[in-house]
Amino acid sequence: MEVAFVFVSLFIIIFGIFYLHYSTRNRERLALIEKGADASIFFSTKTQKKSSVPIWKILILNLSVLLMGIGLGIFLAIFLQGYLSFQNQQIAYPASIFLMAGVGLFVGFTLSKKLVEKE
């Protein structure tokens, strides 16, 4: 019963945030239009240039670095458990895997950003 309550509450909170965001944005735009503002202010003036790097290269780069990070996390967990007598493996494995996966995602993001800037 408590689990259902948590999920219902989470759904209500997310719905409320989106509702407030869109209704406030709509009211703000209507107020600007009533004051005579031009509708072009609602659109971005920046033109985003299309990346010349194919998307599959960026995906493969990020996926490979993520998988290396997960592998390094498993290796780190084995090291923590075996050599440092860290016997609580319920904490060691998930913590090190998620930590290294996050580091891998960050490194992949940085590498793909450099790849896009280079092209």
Average pLDDT rounded to a whole number, residues 59-85? 85
Percent of the chain past pLDDT 70, that is, above it, reads: 87
Please name the residues in contact with 53: beta carbons below 8 A apart, sequence gap of 6 or more.
Answer: 112, 115, 116, 119
Please name the residues in contact with 111: beta carbons below 8 A apart, sequence gap of 6 or more.
Answer: 61, 65
Per-residue pLDDT at 87 exceeds 70: no
Mean pLDDT of all residues belonging to the chain: 83
pTM value is 0.52
Per-residue pLDDT at 20 exceeds 60: yes
The tens digit of pLDDT for each residue in 47-66 reads: 555 667 788 888 888 889 98
Q: Using alpha carbons, select from 117, 108, 106, 105 the residue that is nearest to residue 51.
A: 117
Query: How high is the pLDDT of residue 86?
Result: 66
Query: How high is the pLDDT of residue 51?
Result: 61
The tens digit of pLDDT for each residue in 89-104 reads: 677 788 888 888 899 9
Average pLDDT rounded to a whole number, residues 111-116? 87
